[in-house]
Every structure is written in structure tokens, then in C-alpha cells.
Amino acid sequence: MNKFFTISLLALFVLGFDIRTSAYFEDGNKAPDFQLSTLDGEIIRLSDYLGKIIIVDFWATWCGPCRMAIPELVELQTEHEDELVIIGISLDQPYTQRNLKQFIDQYGINYPIVLGTMEVVQAYGNIRGIPTSFIIDRDGDVVDKFTGYVPKSHYTTVIDPLLSSSE
């Protein structure tokens, strides 16, 4: 009986997790718009980039897997600068934000970095691990989500068909 109860509880957890992750947004697959500021005070809105393929990447300077992913994201941005925009949402705490500018320079980050808020984290399904990246098509629909370090080839598998589709 205990074994059955444990398996049932585990199945419920797994099913519940799948339901939550497949419906993280109030508006179907539409990526929640946000308005966040860069270190320089520039306001970045997701909606400003509709019409392009967008990668929204939640990360932090202290995160090892994030540091591994950044050079590959820089390459992707360079290779597809006209059709793709990557927006890095830093989840660094205020006491580590002072090092953010130096980190951006050190890693040669060539895409906008904005300061994340709890509201945005919640809007994107309560990010539970970083890096977490959302791939968003030209219409603003989330087409994929990656959590943890993912090699560049995984991104290109998803974005190449989107890039080749008509605008």
C-alpha cells in the first residue's frame, strides 16, 4: 500500500509540474511584456523587439553555467544581429550589481542587459534555476524554454527554422 501511495504521489507531482510548465503564461504562449532598465537607465521593453526572434535569458554573474553560456549567446547575437535579439535579464542582487558593468565588458556581451525584478521572474513562471532562456518568435509567442547550460547547437536547432520563416 505504501508503495502505491508513493507512486501515486510522485505521478501527481510530475503531472502537476507538467501542467504548470506548459501553461506558465496567462495569455497562452504569449511572452509577458516587460519594461526593465539597463545599468545606464535605458528602458528596454520586450514589445520593442516584436518582429525579430528574441531570446530572453535569465542569468547572474555568480552563476557558473551562465558564464559558460554567455560566449555562445554573444556568438549567436553576432551571427544573427539583424534578425535576432538577446535580452539578458540579470538576477544579481543589488550588492553584486556594482560588478555587472565590469562583467559585461569582460565577457564582451553585445546584447542588452537589464536588471530583473521579482514581477518579471513571476510573470515568466517563477524561474527556479538559471540560466533559463525563453525563445520567442516574431509574433511574441514562446516556442521553447531551456533551463541550465545549453550548447549553442540547441539554440540554433530552434532558432534556425524561425529565422528562415517569412517575416
* Burial class for 33, CB neighbours closer than 10 Å (0-12, 13-18, 19+): middle
For residue 52 the three cell numbers come to 525579430
Active site residue 63: yes
Out of 31, 63, 120, 127, which one is annotated catalytic? 63
Q: Cβ distance 92 to 60 under 8 Å?
A: yes
Positive or negative CA dihedral for 92, 84, 126, 144? negative
Q: Cβ distance 72 to 153 under 8 Å?
A: no
DSSP secondary structure letter of residue 152: H
Helix, strand, or coil (residue 88): strand
- What is the distance, to the nearest Å, from the Cα of residue 44 to the centroid of all Cα atoms in its chain? 15
Out of 54, 60, 66, 127, which one is annotated catalytic? 66
Active site residue 56: no
DSSP secondary structure letter of residue 131: S
Q: Which residues are the active-site residues?
A: 63, 66
